[in-house]
Amino acid sequence: MSKNEWSKCLLVVYLALAVYLLAGCSAESADAASLKEPGNYLKASEQDIQQWQEMKFGLFIHWGPVSLKGTEIGWSRGGERRGRSGKGSIPAKIYDNLYKQFNPVKFNADEWVQVAKDAGMKYLVFTSKHHDGFSMFDSKLTDYKITNSPFKRDVVKELADACHKAGLRLGYYYSPVDWYHPDYRTENHSRYIKFLHGQLREICSNYGKIDIIWFDGLGGSAKDWDSENLFRMIRQLQPRVIINNRAGLPADHDTPEQRIGKFQADRPWETCMTICRQWAWKPNDEMKSLKQCIHTLVRAVGGDGNLLFNVGPMPDGRIEPRQVERLKQMGAWLKKHGKSIYGTRGGPFMPGAWGASTHKGHTIYIHVLDWPDDALTLPPIPKKIVMSSLLTGGTANVRQTEEAIEIAVPETYRHDLNTVVVLKLDGPAGEISPRALPSASLAFAKKVKASNVFQNTAAHSPDKALDDDPATRWATDYGVKQAWLEVDLGKPVTFNRVKISEAYERVRGFELQYRNTDQWRTFAAGTKIGPEYTKQCEPITARYVRLNILDAAEGPTIWEFQLLAPKD
């Protein structure tokens, strides 16, 4: 090849490379420009939201120096809570100096990530800063941080490195609330806003790709945090990030806390819930059973949501072994039956006392958590069932008519955790509109009254305990220790089972009563209700039935109260 020919070849190569680079730069510029268009920075792309929804299950981690005390993170700090009432149990001077003793030498980010993967979780969200103002990363904007503790290491960085190495999606919780910062909600609040934005800039700039920013603004407005400018900055630094709804803006998804969200297919949502009762580690804290854990996951996914399941590591840096074991048990179940969870959408049968459903492509997964009778009867669908099976093993008898779908599974093949029935259709399940099962409860939508309603709000009225909606509840005021819920069935009816789902497990003593005249008769009593209370009794015929709460830790609240007729 001559010198001229070689020069021409090089020129062609350079021109091609220039075109390629310019195209790439133009694409990047277009992406950046689109973020700057009014409103675009307020919401993630549909593709990124969909990818997050398909993951379904994530690990939430609340941790900090407060683990030395075994009390709740942030909330147990004494001192003034500007913008919020109440005071914690630990004097601020003591709480704010716990970091000087904090040396979690057994912390291992790779082990935490492995715990999440063994549980079948697809993403992890860690508290970079809670309401107490302590930074678990090496922020250049404060001295109140983990790298000034005896531990000295940047936990946020080590977690980022471990997640990126293992292919686990990564998110950081950050509380705009800060009861430690001297300028927070004072006449100098603008200085705090600068600090807040500066810390988020550090998080989004220094730790590689971040998939989720999880705010916890305690009802603050967008103006309180200058959220529009904050979102603009975050998305310019992390264009693929998902942001939740707790910074005064709707953002990308809703976040029901310590409860399973309602069925909602038109907007993404994620239940955040603790595996024990406290967000931060507490010695001998009451832990959910495997059954409760699986049911929580299934009901969240069946409602078309995600589950962000929280653990609180111990002061030495380890996640408590019994919590690790419980998460492994969940992972073992998901390893066998995860196709009915991952990548699915909720429905088309809306969740109820019986269980929930999920679907993907031409397949519906029926998750039966509590068999209502010998068979489960579902509403009809405008698709033909061409095949049925049991994902959990065994055989099922499925009968489809124009009026209903009837599913019968022998006792031998019913599973205590979850019986998963697979229905293969002749068309996409996503084309079927959501439909609810008729209620099996005799108390459904009946007249009801209560001794007390939280702040007299309709959102917590007693009828919410009779609506078969696990996302609504009857609630009482803070400080209430005794209360009652009375159902009027309209006429005497016969029942022999009572099912109650209590929120937050506050009840310490109760009795179940009925009457047809003026005299109440007690047919059951106990000291604990919990999330899944069932009482079988001899058949009772009565018009009025009452849950009489004799003692509660504070403000008892009930998700659902159901009365069931004897089986034929």
> Within a domain: residue 302?
yes
Same domain, 117 and 86: yes
> Within a domain: residue 470?
yes
> Within a domain: residue 526?
yes
CATH number of the domain enclosing 174: 3.20.20.80
Query: What is the pLDDT at residue 27?
Result: 38
At 430 the three-state DSSP class reads helix
Same domain, 334 and 389: no
Query: What is the pLDDT at residue 568?
Result: 67
CATH number of the domain enclosing 383: 2.60.40.1180
Identify whether the C-beta of residue 503 lies closer than 8 Å to the C-beta of residue 256. no
> Within a domain: residue 438?
no
Q: Which among 300, 320, 340 is the end of a domain?
A: 340
Distance of CA 502 to the CA centre of its chain: 17
Same domain, 222 and 128: yes
Same domain, 111 and 256: yes
> Cα angle at 122 between 116 and 125, to 5 degrees?
70
> Within a domain: residue 424?
yes
Both tokens of 547, joined, read 């849950």
Q: How many CB atoms lie within 10 A of CB 432?
A: 18
Same domain, 351 and 473: no
Same domain, 202 and 307: yes
Q: Residue 241 gets which letter from DSSP?
A: -
Distance of CA 378 to the CA centre of its chain: 27
**Of 430, 417, 425, nearest in space to 336 by CA:** 417
Element (H, E) at 94: helix 92-95
Identify whether the C-beta of residue 463 lies closer than 8 Å to the C-beta of residue 447. no
> Within a domain: residue 442?
no
Q: Report how far residue 85's alpha carbon sits from residue 95's, in angstroms, rounded to the nearest whole number.
A: 18
Q: Which among 398, 431, 464 is the end of a domain?
A: 431
Q: Report how far residue 460's alpha carbon sits from residue 330's, in angstroms, rounded to the nearest whole number.
A: 33
Query: What is the pLDDT at residue 521?
Result: 97
Query: What is the pLDDT at residue 303?
Result: 96
Residue type, 54: E
Same domain, 193 and 138: yes
> Within a domain: residue 4?
no
Q: Which among 308, 323, 340 is the end of a domain?
A: 340
Same domain, 214 and 356: no
β-pair partners for 377: 406
Domain count, the chain: 3
Same domain, 215 and 297: yes
CATH number of the domain enclosing 483: 2.60.120.260
Helices and strands: H and E segment counts in the chain: 10, 22
Cα separation values, 122 from 17, 61, 125, 170, Å: 38, 14, 11, 9
pTM above 0.75, yes or no: yes
Same domain, 360 and 312: no
Rounded to 5 degrees, what are φ and ψ at 542?
-160, 160
- pLDDT 10s digit of each residue in the chain, 568 long? 444 554 444 444 344 444 333 444 433 333 444 444 445 899 999 999 999 999 999 999 999 999 999 999 999 999 999 988 888 999 999 999 999 999 999 999 999 999 999 999 999 999 999 999 999 999 999 999 999 999 999 999 999 999 999 999 999 999 999 999 999 999 999 999 999 999 999 999 999 999 999 999 888 999 999 999 999 999 999 999 999 999 999 999 999 999 899 999 999 999 999 999 999 999 999 999 999 999 999 999 999 999 999 999 999 999 999 999 999 999 999 999 999 999 999 999 999 889 999 999 999 999 999 888 789 999 999 999 999 999 999 999 999 999 999 999 999 999 999 999 999 999 999 999 998 887 889 999 999 999 999 999 999 999 999 998 877 899 999 899 999 999 999 999 999 999 999 988 999 999 999 999 889 999 999 999 998 899 999 999 999 999 999 999 999 999 999 999 997 6
Cα separation values, 16 from 1, 32, 318, Å: 20, 24, 54
Residue showing tokens 């500066």: 198
Residue showing tokens 């293969």: 424
Query: What is the pLDDT at residue 468?
Result: 86
Q: Which domain holds residue 230?
A: 54-340
User: Strands 521-526, 270-274: parallel, antiparallel or unpaired by DSSP?
Assistant: unpaired
> Within a domain: residue 389?
yes
Q: Report how far residue 144's alpha carbon sits from residue 290's, in angstroms, rounded to the nearest whole number.
A: 38
Q: Report how far residue 59's alpha carbon sits from residue 109's, in angstroms, rounded to the nearest whole number.
A: 13
Using only C-alpha atoms, the chain has a radius of gyration, in whole angstroms, of 27
Same domain, 488 and 425: no
Both tokens of 174, joined, read 């950050």
Both tokens of 194, joined, read 């600068």
Same domain, 422 and 547: no
